[in-house]
Structure 1
């Protein structure tokens, strides 16, 4: 597996396509189809990802096997912490330890940016991901419900890992 930064318009297009595939497969048991459609368009579509990179200081790391995009993570530097906004792998690549490589890339980036910690939000009903993050040293620090529009709510835990 190779990891590199998202750098081109073609990269963003591939990223949006993979995000759409993953979200419709993974989250269908956690949130409604309508909320998935809305969240993909709002946060994971080509225009949303392009805006995040160009206007909101997001960096995306892309994971490839050969020339095939299999996963990604998105991060955004904040004052003292790095926000891990997204970390996803294609279904057939989960359970092989590959997410750890993306997480290590995010932590390395955080340290390069002199951040004290890395944090994320995770749906309260996404037990598998919560277990993975807890196993990687993240701790629950808060719980939030965020209105994202059109009557949809993100019901999340906030997890943080302090960096040494």
Structure 2
């Protein structure tokens, strides 16, 4: 599916195959090290990449219902999304990441709208976001998400995810 960004940036949002998990792996390592080290530190970033973003872990997520989408521009992947279906019309946005050079230009909103178009029955979209990830939280507010509650999850090895769960309601 093609979409037009607000900065004359054309993108394609397409579903990733298990063989393309390597693209998500590479994007995650690049994006997470740049974006999350200032928020949660190098050790936790390395732990989470090793736990959730190996090619094998990503392929297992795909096999267990996570639908991955690649965000491509000029034939190259510059971001990714993962969505799971929780129940009829209710979805969870597991992952939504763009390379730094493509943030803050209106592309995220365009991509999110294109993603929502892929799920015509979607009336609720939830996500979790780190409570210190102010730029992402502000983006989600701008596109209509609200905070449902705070969520603290032990992810092992002494690390926690300290998140907000956010909700976007869409009226069909």
Match runs of 1:110-121 below 5 Å:
110-111=119-120, 114-121=121-128
Give the 3-state SS of the residue equivalent to 1:100 in structure 2: helix
Which residue of 109, 126, 144 maps to 2:133?
Answer: 126
User: How far apart in 2 are the matches of 1:110 and 1:158?
Assistant: 21
More helix by share: 1
User: How far apart in 2 are the matches of 1:108 and 1:69?
Assistant: 20
RMSD: 1.2
User: How far apart in 2 are the matches of 1:66 and 1:18?
Assistant: 16
- For the pair 1:144 / 2:154, whether they are aligned, the reply is no
User: How far apart in 2 are the matches of 1:158 and 1:106?
Assistant: 19
- For the pair 1:78 / 2:86, whether they are aligned, the reply is yes
Flag as ranges the 4+ runs of structure 1 deviating above 6 A: none
The TM-score with structure 1 as length reference comes to 0.92
Aligned-pair distance for 1:8? 4.5
Q: 1:43 to 1:105 in 2, by over 3 A?
A: farther
Say whether the 8 Å CA contact 1:72–1:102 is kept in structure 2. no
Consecutive unaligned residues in structure 1, runs of 5 or more: none
76-85 vs 94-103, which deviates more? 94-103
1:43 match: 52
Say whether the 8 Å CA contact 2:18–2:62 is kept in structure 1. no
The TM-score with structure 2 as length reference comes to 0.88
Say whether the 8 Å CA contact 1:139–1:159 is kept in structure 2. yes
Aligned-pair distance for 1:108? 2.2
Larger relative contact order (C-alpha < 8 A, sep ≥ 6)? 2
Say whether the 8 Å CA contact 1:121–1:157 is kept in structure 2. yes
Consecutive unaligned residues in structure 2, runs of 5 or more: 1-10
Say whether the 8 Å CA contact 1:77–1:110 is kept in structure 2. no
1:136-160 deviation digits (Å, cap 9, x = unpaired): 0000001010001111000000000
1:95 match: 104
Say whether the 8 Å CA contact 2:72–2:79 is kept in structure 1. yes
